[in-house]
Amino acid sequence: MRLLFVTSEAYPLAKTGGLADVSRSLPAALKRQGADITVLMPAYPRAVVQLRDAKVVTRLGPAFGITDGLLIAGTFPDCDLPVLLVSSATLFGRDGGLYQDNEGADWGDNALRFAYFSKAAADLALGRTDIGWLPDLVHANDWHTGLLPYFLAHHEGARPRTVFTTHNMAFQGNFGHGDVPDLGHGDFEFYGKVSYLKAGLRYADRVTTVSPTYAREILTPEYGFGLDGVLAARGSDFCGILNGIDETIWNPATDRFLPANYRPRETAGKRVCKRELQRELGLPPAPDVPVIGFVSRLTHQKMADALIEALPWIAERGAQLAVVGEGDRAIEATLAHAAEQHPTVIAATVGYDETLAHKLQAGSDILLAPARFEPCGLTQLYALKYGTLPVVRRTGGLADTVVDTNNLSICDRTASGFVFDDPTTDGMISALSRALALYRDQLHWRLVQLQAMTRTFGWDRSAGAYMDLYRGVTGIAPKWREEETGDDEDMRRAAG
């Protein structure tokens, strides 16, 4: 099966969040399962310079007034996964972020940038370029590619089938009519604006999201952000498939970013990682002091405001807090000030650093990963793999992946972290307090840590679910392995 995987970012070529990790790891897993897959993304300057064996393969036709389009081919720098980059110096050849300028403001032409990107992807999928490769199915991701299913659905004649994945319903790509190029007639209207996310949800042959629980949640007004009705209308064409992690990148036994490697039953290296993390961040190296890590966007969704409110409580508990993230400027400033006031207790790094993110996962004892809503979440999956017990709220993929530690779950050997329900500072503190209490009981802490590290969240099982979904939408009946049971039942139902 020939698959075109279309995304606005993919690690390590360009990254702002979890979408980039998924866009690198899922295609690689699909390739292992026999798919002839190519990733398509914009040619940001940082992506072009990292591409291996890069070469211009064709010129793209004009669209929406853009005439400088090129298609660049190559492979990821760390594997043989093929990549095509849609190049336009006018739209993508600029300094700054992928979606925002250096001041944190959205690029004023984002509507045009990603309309052009989706149109170029549609032309490629329909054979309007001369590269000699046509996909059987196009998998589009998030609002940046939302127009792609629309363009293909309105093509008269043979076309590839489409799957559209929404990774976070809060990010919708809503634009004023004056900012959007002429797209023809389509059902994009959303409270007086044009919604690229709605286009993807409306016109794709099948729609997915990134965990079974989030799939149920976004059918409600609370989590659907105004588009729950559009999803409900899709009926059985909509499902949730849990994300995974790339264990060739996120694995404490082989992680090249760590000062020492370790395994579930050989964790001496984790103690080395903790000591070196403390030293690097300027915290006193104290092996018996619990280190609480927080690596995330500093936003309301991620309860960063609750973290700020909890700082005095954390400072009084004899723990250390290591924060890596960026987002709300006021929260960034408050964290930086708190670190200055309590340099032996709090360390705050504003910005995202991939190397430091790996070191934080390995060197922390507890990962604080709360959220008011969370489609899937990857940091808690990394934490489980690294023996860093996560504190999470029971929502979305967090509910699907972390089992709360209590007397029953310890006895039946399922415990893997600490879960709370109330999306408040008090709710978060209650779970964090239980985590700190268990840390003082090292025998049970080590038991839960071992259970967390031996859970499996690699991509192969989820990639298998996607492959069966692809086979179903292209007319080939999915075939599930008979031995799959338990958690796979949701995936079997999801694939139809």
What pLDDT was estimated at residue 476? Answer: 60
The annotation places the binding site for ADP-alpha-D-glucose at 15
| 286 and 424 assigned to the same domain | yes
In 226-328, alpha helices (H): 228-234, 268-281, 304-315
Residue 479 lies in a domain: no
Q: Strand 70-75 relative to strand 82-87: parallel, antiparallel, unpaired?
A: antiparallel
Opening angle at CA 308, ends 329 and 106, nearest 5: 25
Give 188: exposed, middle or buried? Use CB within 10 Å, 0-12, 13-18, 19+.
Answer: buried
| 192 and 131 assigned to the same domain | yes
| 236 and 272 assigned to the same domain | no
pLDDT tens figures, 410-469:
999 999 999 999 999 999 999 999 999 999 999 999 999 999 999 999 999 999 999 999
| 278 and 149 assigned to the same domain | no
* Distance in angstroms (rounded) separating the CA atoms of residues 216 and 6: 25
pTM of this prediction exceeds 0.85: yes
* Distance in angstroms (rounded) separating the CA atoms of residues 182 and 119: 12
Residue 369 lies in a domain: yes
| 345 and 431 assigned to the same domain | yes
Of 437, 453, 469, which marks where a domain is finished?
453
| 174 and 56 assigned to the same domain | yes
| 224 and 272 assigned to the same domain | no
Q: What domain range is 114 assigned to?
A: 2-240
| 219 and 293 assigned to the same domain | no
What pLDDT was estimated at residue 169? Answer: 97
| 7 and 141 assigned to the same domain | yes
Segments of the chain scoring below 50 in pLDDT: 478-496
Residue 293 lies in a domain: yes
What pLDDT was estimated at residue 467? Answer: 96
Residue 281 lies in a domain: yes
Beta bridge partners of 85: 41, 72
What pLDDT was estimated at residue 130? Answer: 87
CATH value at residue 429: 3.40.50.2000
Give the number of domains in the chain. 2
SS3 state at 60 = coil
Residues 6+ apart with CB under 8 A from 236: 496
Residues 6+ apart with CB under 8 A from 304: 296, 297, 298, 325, 327, 328, 331
| 53 and 135 assigned to the same domain | yes
pLDDT tens figures, 472-490:
999 865 443 333 334 444 4
Nearest alpha carbon to residue 14 among 100, 88, 83, 97:
97
304-315 helix and 329-341 helix, angle to the nearest 10 degrees: 10
Token output for 306: 């609750």
The annotation places the binding site at 15
Residue 121 lies in a domain: yes
Residue 22 lies in a domain: yes
| 234 and 357 assigned to the same domain | no
What pLDDT was estimated at residue 477? Answer: 54
Residue 487 lies in a domain: no
pLDDT tens figures, 375-409:
999 999 999 999 999 999 999 999 999 999 999 99
Residue 60 lies in a domain: yes
CB-side neighbour CA atoms (13 Å) of 258: 26
| 231 and 292 assigned to the same domain | no
